[in-house]
Structure 1
Amino acid sequence: MRHDDDTRTGSATPAHPHTHTHTAGGVTWPTAARATLHCLTGCALGEVLGMVAGTALGWGNVPTMILAIILAFVLGYSLTLRGVLGAGVDLRTALRVALAADTLSITVMELIDNGVITLWPDAMDARLDETLFWGALAASLALAFVVTTPVNRWMIGRGKGHAVVHRYHH
């Protein structure tokens, strides 16, 4: 991504050494897929940990889903925070960047993921040792990736979402 007005370096060169391929109409699908995969990593870790913990503890469906959603947001934001803080950005700015970069993406993923799990017959009642538990979880995360990738492409093309994170890469 080209940064024509890079206030940190005062130049018209990219703020980081890697490049992003854009089409005339905006961001390429591979760029959007990479941003979605980054977001999905934290989201999936939180979702799986929450579902496993709630199921293992014998919690009901609603508390388990709430835990999974909370952990998905926390771990999703944490991955972005780690990268932005690693670039030397202060915590307050890093929090703003993470919220701007990931909120819509994680929200869409969680709606799709939890919607699939809720609507999949018997998935909410599956135990950890059942293929249905893991199969429904994997399928719901895969569908969340497919649905969220165009959302991220649209956001990045408008300088939002993960485009915000790339302003802080060195």
Structure 2
Amino acid sequence: MAHHEQTHHDQAHHDQAPTGRALTRLAVSATLHCLTGCAIGEVLGLVLATWWGLANLPSILLAVALAFLFGYSLTIWPVLRSGLALRAAVGVALAADTVSILTMEVVDNLVVLAVPGAMQAGLTDLLFWGSLVVSLVIAFAVTVPVNRALIRRGKGHAVVHAYHH
């Protein structure tokens, strides 16, 4: 009986949302995870779009699509390794990352669009890479409080933690 009570207590403690600095650390970690996927997708998308000579809208659409693909993939693989079926792992990734990736992508693309000449810059142009880095840094800063609020409510990246070992 004591073991059952201890297990129940541990589970109740584990289910409590973190607060204060622990919550902020978790939000920063979740946002860095999101940033990694978004940055890979953004860079690959914009490099391909620039190489292929795509106009602004198709360039942005390609970069955003790849950001979501890589962002979700970075969540799906570890969840699959925990033993969850693919369909369920996709569901976890959608629940965990959609708002975070969407926030990061909206901010990131608005910043790049606001920088004069950034969308027309070539791959060897410092403006291309500089505006991309600045946009991702700003997007990170905006997304951390979004992830913090989601995690505090048991949403967003908080749903992934049940599958981490």
- The verdict on a shared fold, with TM-score over 0.5 as the criterion, is yes
Mapped pair 1:65 → 2:57:
no
Pairing of 1:17-32 with structure 2 (within 5 A) = 22-23=18-19, 28-32=23-27
Match of 1:106 in 2: 101
The ranges of structure 1 where at least 4 consecutive aligned residues each deviate by more than 4 angstroms after the TM superposition are none
Q: TM-score, normalised by structure 2?
A: 0.88
2:157 is equivalent to residue 162 of structure 1: yes
Match of 2:73 in 1: 78
CA-atom RMSD in angstroms: 2.1
Q: Deviations over 1:62-102 (max 9, x none)?
A: 11111000000000000000110011111111011000000
Are the counterparts in 1 of residues 23 and 151 from structure 2 also a CA contact under 8 Å?
no
Of 131, 134, 139, the match for 2:134: 139
Aligned counterparts of 2:21 and 2:154: Cα–Cα separation in 1: 10
Number of aligned residues? 156
| Counterpart contact for 2:46–2:59, Cα < 8 Å | yes
Aligned counterpart, 1:5 = none
Q: How high is the TM-score relative to the length of structure 1?
A: 0.86
Alpha-carbon shift at residue 29 of structure 1 (Å): 1.5
Gaps of 5+ in 2: 1-5, 12-16
2:34 to 31, 34, 39: 39
Q: Is residue 47–residue 68 contact of structure 1 (8 Å, CA) maintained in 2? A: yes
Unaligned stretches of 5+ residues in structure 1:
1-9, 16-20
- Code of the residue aligned with 2:109 in structure 1: it is N
What does residue 6 of structure 1 align with? Answer: none
The amino acid across from 1:111 in the alignment is V
For residues 13 and 81 of structure 1, the distance between their equivalents in structure 2, rounded to whole angstroms, comes to: 29
- Whole-Å separation in 1 of the counterparts to 2:79 and 2:48: 29
- 2:154 is paired with a residue of what secondary structure? coil
| 1:114-158 CA-partner distances (Å, limit 9, x unpaired) | 000111111111110010000000000000100000000000011
Is residue 42–residue 79 contact of structure 1 (8 Å, CA) maintained in 2? yes
Task: Work out whether residues 27 and 153 of structure 1, in 8 Å CA contact, stay in contact via their aligned partners in 2.
Answer: no
Percentage of identical aligned residues: 55
